[in-house]
Amino acid sequence: MKSKTYYRIRRKIIWVIDSILKIGVCIFLAFPFYWMLTTSFKTYTESILFPPTLIPRVFTLEGYRTVFEGLDLGMYLKNSLIILFWIILIQMIVMVPAAYGFSKCEFKGRGLLFGFVTVAFMVPSQVTFVTTFLMFSKMKLIKTLIPQIIPFGANAFGIFLLRQNFMQIPDEMLEAARLDEASELQIMLKIMLPMAKSSLVTIALLSFMSHWNSYFWPLVMTTSDSVRPLTMAIDKLKHLDFGFVWPTIMAGNVLMVLPVVILFLIGSKRIIAAMAYRGIK
Amino acid sequence: MSKAKNNASPAKRKCGPRLMDRLRPYLMIAPCIAFLVVFTLYPVVNMIYLSFFEYDLLTPKKFVGLNNYYRLFFVNVDFWEAFKHTFYYTVAEVVLLITLGLLLAMWVRKSTFLNAIAQRVMFLPHLVAMLTVAYVFQWLMDDRSGLFNAVLNFFHLPGLNWLNSSKTALMSVVIVSIWKNVGYYALILLSSLKAIPAEIYEAADLDDARPLLKFFKITVPMLSPQIFFLLVTITMGSFKVFESIRVLTGGGPGSSTDVLVYYIYRYAISNMKYGYACAAGTILFVILMVFMVVYFRLPGKRVHYQ
């Protein structure tokens, strides 16, 4: 018969091992971030030392200086922000009435049209990019920011989330407003929207992050630097010097990651919930 | 008939009787539908159409019938190579992401301080651009001064060539993707794990069920719709892998990491063989369509969109 202390000690040991393993997993997942950050502060010679140093012996901002001097960061950042601004604005304008229509109005063909929306959203841009590129280059728009903006006018996740949100608003509220002679537009803007504010913020946040990070689309849709966003600038860092100068490349990537991590720290609960929802739907 | 319906649900009456009211819902969804028609439906239809042509934007397109497909399947062996790599990649992704995701989710299920931190950290890689992740890992996997080989050497193991050998390149790309996505899928599984009623486990505890038995007899069956859903999602996601390949290996060494989307990209953007690229794109589209059909027939999925 084993004593109570035996079980208590056994549980304690298991707990310690479990915790150590968990910390290990956390380190494994967080380490590349640490590595990126520290490498960005190293000198080039230190960065290629073997075995590598875990903490930079000499802190230098050389990498950052090269990034700022070698690239017209301002231009790329401006492009990124203009693209993001228009994408989010257009998405909101398209999304709100669509979600309202699909949630609170009955009309012929609603099921069919919603089915079309659902299926169309599942066709990835990796399938459509060739012909979309041809379309824009025939229209002579490849040298503008438009190909990076309007294809994203309809936001699937946004419409689904918002529709779900609108469906929870009781019909009686809309009916009361209609009795007060409110127009449909007023109902949408003054009643529905304020109740969905939190969803709208979440949608804008996720949209920002996904388009801030996007690399595939600008890569295939642009032919000149003047319309390229920040991701494409980071991709050019490897050509800035002879070969790969890791501190410079990492410095550029730190600048890319920073806004996203800050947004995550501000709204991590909201973002995790929304991403999990997006994963399930 | 519409009148009766309107009387039945007074709140929706406004969307019914008068002409303007009847048109309004269509106007509301029109922009959304228009965007999808122009930027999804039209490109797909046009892609299938162009796949029967030889086309390079400069000279007029020439109808070639099924010749592009014939060349894809029977003349150019590189398409099968790309398809094979995509398939291997997809199988590795599905097996590893679901197994590891499930294990992670089980592991951090209880609400403790450490688990709360772990959940946040698990999510972090998912936020960062694939571009950044790819560069950091390219650096970690560098064969001369990368950290991974330093760790291997520390344990007196020979260093690997990671991305620079055709034997290990695809595996290295899979590792990067696992690192980026496993936490995200674990969190998705975790949210369904929490929805399993505790009574079921309590009943099993009364019967002195062993943990492994509980896992296979309760957890896995209860999560099966979710797991099946992830299976389809990960498969579809893996078939369109591109960014990591482009940054990490550029399809190489040799053609050892050439995948479908990279193949299409090469022929379309670099070689301007648009008709041929469209044929390859059509194949990819058909593959994804098959999974889409499966996706919409998923058990436990249909409830969401009526």
- Give residue-wise pLDDT tens across range A203-243: 998 899 899 999 999 999 998 989 999 999 998 888 877 67
Q: What is the mean pLDDT of residues A115-120?
A: 89
Q: Which candidate from B5, B39, B138 shows the least CB-CB separation from A151?
A: B39
Amino acid B117: pLDDT: 87
Q: Spell out which residues of chain B touch residue A219, defining contact as CB-CB under 8 Å.
A: 246
Q: Which CATH superfamily is domain B77-296 in?
A: MetI-like (1.10.3720.10)
Per-residue pLDDT tens for A4-56? 888 889 889 998 998 999 999 999 999 999 999 999 998 888 888 877 888 88
Beta bridge partners of B63: B53
- The structure tokens 């084993």 sit at A2
Taking one residue from A and the other from B, the number of pairs with CB-CB distance under 8 angstroms is 269
A100 with B135: Cβ contact below 8 A: no
Instruction: Assign A279 a pLDDT band (cuts: 50, 70, 90).
Output: low
B47 with A122: Cβ contact below 8 A: no
Instruction: Judge whether A274 and A92 are in contact, CB under 8 Å.
Output: no
Q: Spell out which residues of chain A touch residue B5, defining contact as CB-CB under 8 Å.
A: 106
Instruction: Assign A2 a pLDDT band (cuts: 50, 70, 90).
Output: low
Q: Spell out which residues of chain A touch residue B125, defining contact as CB-CB under 8 Å.
A: 29, 32
| Helical segments of chain A, H only | 4-40, 44-47, 62-70, 73-104, 110-122, 125-138, 156-167, 171-179, 184-186, 193-195, 197-212, 216-221, 230-236, 246-280
Q: Spell out which residues of chain A touch residue B179, defining contact as CB-CB under 8 Å.
A: 28-29, 32
A121 with B36: Cβ contact below 8 A: yes
**Over chain A, what is the mean pLDDT?**
88
Amino acid A244: pLDDT: 81
Per-residue pLDDT tens for B40-61? 999 999 999 999 999 888 888 8
d(CA A272, CA B193): 16
Calculate how close chain A gets to B200, using CA atoms only, in Å.
23
Q: Which domains are delineated in chain A?
A: 4-63 (no CATH), 71-239 (1.10.3720.10)
A131 with B42: Cβ contact below 8 A: yes
Closest alpha carbon to B181 in B298, B252, B99: B99
